[in-house]
Structure 1
Amino acid sequence: MTAPSTLPRTARLVAWSRRWPLWTPYAAVSWALLYAAVQITWAATDTTVPLTPNEPYPAWSQVLLACIALLAGAASWASLRATGRKARVATETALLLALPVFAMGMASLPAHFVTLVSFSGIDSGTGLVQVLLSCAGATLLLLVALSHHRRLRGRCPRCGQTHDGPSHGPLVHPGPSTASKRTRRTVYLLMCGVLPWAGAKTSWTLGGDALGLTAEAWRETNQGESEVARALSSVGIDVTVLAAVAGIFLLTGLMYQWGQVFPRWTLVLAGRRVPRLLPLIPARLTAVGLSGYGVVLVIYAPLGAMGILPRLEPTGGFTDSSGLLWMVAFGGLAFGGLGFGLIVAARSYSARTRPVCASGGRLSPESP
């Protein structure tokens, strides 16, 4: 048998990736120490880190985030060592409580993505670092919590099934499948939320007026855009609408078989299996921010119109607050529709493509 050190580099990487339930807790501990050090440094040096476009993180919140990260790191370390039932449940509880904190910290990831791909520059370097650190932490903590939860239930920490044998061998992947009709109808309905928002933006880029905002005022408001964004706008394409189209493309791939096996138009990749995490990672990372932002906008628009919340003053070329509130509502439907659509589609894709350990022996009868 070939020694691990003499295996080709690709084979070693594959063997290493198969053991992710063992090394992700250590990676989470390393992340926690780095995250805490960065937050404490920023707080001590009074570095501005944007929480919202107009509001920075207060120093006390950065210290609190550092403490939560260290607690999550300790729980990750304990996930491989807790032996008693109470200790293991306490570890899982700590991980599940810390996870939403850092998931919300990556809410602005879609906005940073759009500005980067449109070459519009970086609004805030510290803001981008904060989002990326939160993204890495949420991902690692999710993996640690998932494998720990499976161990608590007596299942394989990698594939989640109940079987005999090791859990670090090759995987057996199910064949391509299409999402259920119920899932597809739900996702298509959520997609429709993009139409009013995309229609208004496309109207402005094509030279029309909508919601009390003229095309000229729209162009003046967006004079600071990159050359790429202005070039697209000159032919009637708004860069944010283009990003929404990319999200719809991702949604359809999650629902149909071409999202599991590369189709003919991918040329050299045609017929090969799509790596499972290739669509799942961007879907899950962007779904958090989009759905949360959409919910906030959808709630704010009617409450602002009724005067329960402060009414928005006309800005960005809008001539009255009612047009701005309508655009807020349209944005909520668009972002929320895409975000929740990604959640539904990714859940279906994850269940339909979940592999099982090939070397673990025959699955137990109760395993799905």
Structure 2
Amino acid sequence: MTTITASRPRTDSRWPDRLAPLAAGWLGLWGVLALVGTLTGAGYPFGANDPHGGDVNLLRLVPVELAAPLFAGVLLTAAVAALAMSRPAVRGPGPLRALLAGYGWTVAVVLTVVVPDARVLVILGYLPMLIIGAPFGWPPVDYADVFTWALFARFAALAGGLLLAGAVLTWQRRTAGACVGCGRDGTDRGWTTPAAAARWGRWAAGIAAAIPLAYASTRFAWAAGIPLGISREFLTEMQDTGLVWAGFGLGAFATAGAILTLGLVQRWGERFPRWMVGLAGRRVPVKLAVVPATLVAVAVTAASLGLFSQPEFWQGLSVAGGPALLWPLWGVALGAATYAYHLRRRGACRRCGRGRRDPS
């Protein structure tokens, strides 16, 4: 059975209290920019206004002349909602509370998994390669065509959605009388205990690790000269341009990601292994695993929505694209495995002190 290493209680953190003001400021800023873009007719970076991949974004289904003012209105309204959530905890009428929470969660989901698309996941996968290869002029890409205003806007939406989700969650906890830091309210839910999380977390981590390995296998096959799921002519073209090695790099990073995913349920995911000089034996900070894993889970889910909405994806589906069919499951499984890791290692809450008797 996996040994659980609980985190030590630390001094009180005010981060949960800052989420709503941060979300309000961020969404308000982008809402004003979107409003200016609506009035000037320039700056809306999605759909037909995005020549570098707007066709894989769900917002392409909404006409620009309607989407631009709607986007501005949603952002500004969400900013006001987040500002309202930053006020002292007063439990309002049930319908009003449900309406505010429902609107907040809806906007948060749209900003995190609808506005971003596959490009966010692609950049996260290629970024190490781009950074390492930039001094050597490889891969042969124009960075101005990669890091565009449209890409920046997608990451900005993702950040705003995550901030808003945190603000809504904190507000719901506060108005329900639960701890805003850990969500505990004095009742013990069986599936959230460390022992239970260890059980279902192992299943989730196994699924979340297997899917990227399936993706990596096709890229490794191409690097080995095997046209798995593609034509021999297309493989030859990729070999001539060097793209086959870019695919190999993505496969390598997918494999590394799968291994790190397994770390969510392994001992070395709680304490650094012996071969890590200077860190060996030290506790792995919980956020060091939770933050990047959550980001990847959200990015994978967003990418799958955009891809699945494309008729071209289904028309050209082959063995090479088959693993993408499992991306929604990958996103959910990785999110579940990450949450299980958090539940196992969160230990005693720094704010309310609950959880001190959790097994360790």
Task: Find out whether 1:77 has 2:83 as its counterpart.
Answer: yes
Q: Which amino acid in structure 1 is aligned with residue 31 of structure 2?
A: A
Task: Find out whether 1:260 has 2:270 as its counterpart.
Answer: yes
Aligned to 2:175: 152
Q: CA deviation at 1:144?
A: 0.7
Aligned to 1:280: 290
SS in 2 for 1:180: helix
Task: Find out whether 1:205 has 2:223 as its counterpart.
Answer: yes
Aligned to 2:334: 342
SS in 2 for 1:76: helix
CA contact (8 A) 1:118 1:239 kept: yes
Alpha-carbon separation, structure 2, partners of 1:292 and 1:162: 32
CA contact (8 A) 1:251 1:341 kept: no
Q: For 1:317-356, what aligned pairs fall within 5 Å after superposition? A: 324-333=317-326, 335-356=327-348
Q: CA deviation at 1:37?
A: 2.6
Identity among equivalent positions (%) equals: 24
Alpha-carbon separation, structure 2, partners of 1:147 and 1:331: 34
Alpha-carbon separation, structure 2, partners of 1:202 and 1:239: 9
- Structure with more relative contact order (C-alpha pairs < 8 Å, separation 6 or more): 2
CA contact (8 A) 1:287 1:340 kept: yes
CA contact (8 A) 1:178 1:256 kept: no
Cα gap change, 1:184 to 1:42, in 2 (>3 Å) = same
Q: CA deviation at 1:26?
A: 1.2
Q: For 1:213-224, what aligned pairs fall within 5 Å after superposition? A: 213-214=231-232, 217-221=234-238
Aligned to 1:36: 31
* Residue-by-residue CA offset, 1:88-137 (whole Å, 9 max, x unaligned): 44432321121111112234321122233221535251122112211211
Q: Which amino acid in structure 2 is aligned with residue 92 of structure 1?
A: A
Task: Find out whether 1:22 has 2:45 as its counterpart.
Answer: no
Structure 1 unmatched runs, 5+ = 1-13, 164-175, 313-320
CA contact (8 A) 1:190 1:341 kept: yes
* Residue-by-residue CA offset, 1:11-43 (whole Å, 9 max, x unaligned): xxx97x810122221111110122113323444
Task: Find out whether 1:67 has 2:73 as its counterpart.
Answer: yes
Mark the structure with the bigger radius of gyration.
1
Q: Which amino acid in structure 1 is aligned with residue 289 of structure 2?
A: P
**Deviation above 6 Å: which 4+ runs of structure 1?**
222-225, 362-365
Alpha-carbon separation, structure 1, partners of 2:101 and 2:264: 29
- TM normalised by structure 2 equals 0.74
CA contact (8 A) 1:297 1:329 kept: no
Alpha-carbon separation, structure 1, partners of 2:196 and 2:117: 29
Find the partner of 2:161 among 126, 138, 157: 138
Alpha-carbon separation, structure 1, partners of 2:125 and 2:313: 29
Alpha-carbon separation, structure 1, partners of 2:69 and 2:305: 28
CA contact (8 A) 2:46 2:150 kept: yes
* Residue-by-residue CA offset, 1:267-319 (whole Å, 9 max, x unaligned): 2122222222222122112212313544676798xxx7xxxx9963xxxxxxx
Task: Find out whether 1:238 has 2:248 as its counterpart.
Answer: yes
Structure 2 unmatched runs, 5+ = 1-9, 131-138, 187-193
